[in-house]
Amino acid sequence: MKLTDLYMAVTCILEEQYTSRAGFALSPGDVVLDIGGHIGSFAVYAAQRAARVIVYEPDASSHAQLLKNLAANGLINVTARQEAVAGRSGSRPIYPARLNSAENNFYWGGPRGTAVSCVTLEEAFRAHGLERCDFLKIDCEGAEYEILRAAPADVLARVRRIGIEAHVGRFFGIDDPSAVPATLLDLLRRAGFETEHWVENDLHTFIWARRA
């Protein structure tokens, strides 16, 4: 396992970064949607606590390791899709990060992009027949803005709790001055969520949201 992969496992499993806030712990009956699954650190954690997990990871290598990690843990309540969730469906390039595959993204550009299949949040809900989502985890290197902006109100209304690693867009190749965590906080509050946040550093802010 790469050192960067180990770091992701530590933050998701040992530090419980997405679920450690009061009211955000996973329960045995929960349905979880994981956007940006990487090698499955959060998916493994969630599947050991919840009833059902759906995880999206577009990168072929990361998705393959995700499947291995699910199998190694004997988890059969996880559906893993090798697709990206985005603001629009279709095919688009994803670009590899130099050091950490968890940072592969849509925005930095370059000659080595690989085309991946994308679905919207609404399409993901429809594909899996989700009438409810008890926990929505999002860590997708800046795509959180387009995903949540494109999500219809009736889809967000089915989500009970959300944990997001929000990325400050200008550091991740996003040419949009509104791609800042405050935009997500406002969007979520207007959608009926109570929010908490923690500014990790200049690049990242963690956001937790739950139904008011």
Pairing of strands 31-35, 161-167: unpaired
Q: What average pLDDT is seen over the chain?
A: 91
Q: pLDDT for 80-129, tens place per residue?
A: 999 999 999 999 998 877 666 666 667 876 668 889 999 999 999 999 99
Q: What is the pTM for the complete model shown?
A: 0.92
Neighbours of 47 (CB within 10 A): 23
Task: Identify the DSSP state of 112.
Answer: T
Residue 33 C-alpha from the chain's centroid: 8
Distance CA 54, CA 114 (A): 23
Cα–Cα–Cα angle for 75, 118, 157, rounded to 5 degrees: 75
- Give the mean model confidence (pLDDT) for residues 161-178: 93
From the list 28, 38, 35, the residue with the least C-alpha distance to 8 is: 38
44-63: pLDDT as tens digits: 999 999 999 999 999 999 99
Q: What angle do CA 14, 54, 7 make, to 5 degrees?
A: 25
> CB within 8 A of 37, min separation 6: which ones?
43, 55, 56, 57, 62, 63, 66, 80
pLDDT for residue 203: 92
Identify the pLDDT of residue 171: 87
Only one residue has tokens 């990361």, namely: 62
Residue 13: band (very low, low, confident or very high) from pLDDT cuts 50, 70, 90 = low
For the chain, give every domain's residue range: 3-211
Q: How would residue 43 be classed by pLDDT, with cut points 50, 70 and 90?
A: very high
3-211 CATH fold: Rossmann fold (3.40.50)
Q: Decide if pLDDT at 3 tops 50.
A: no
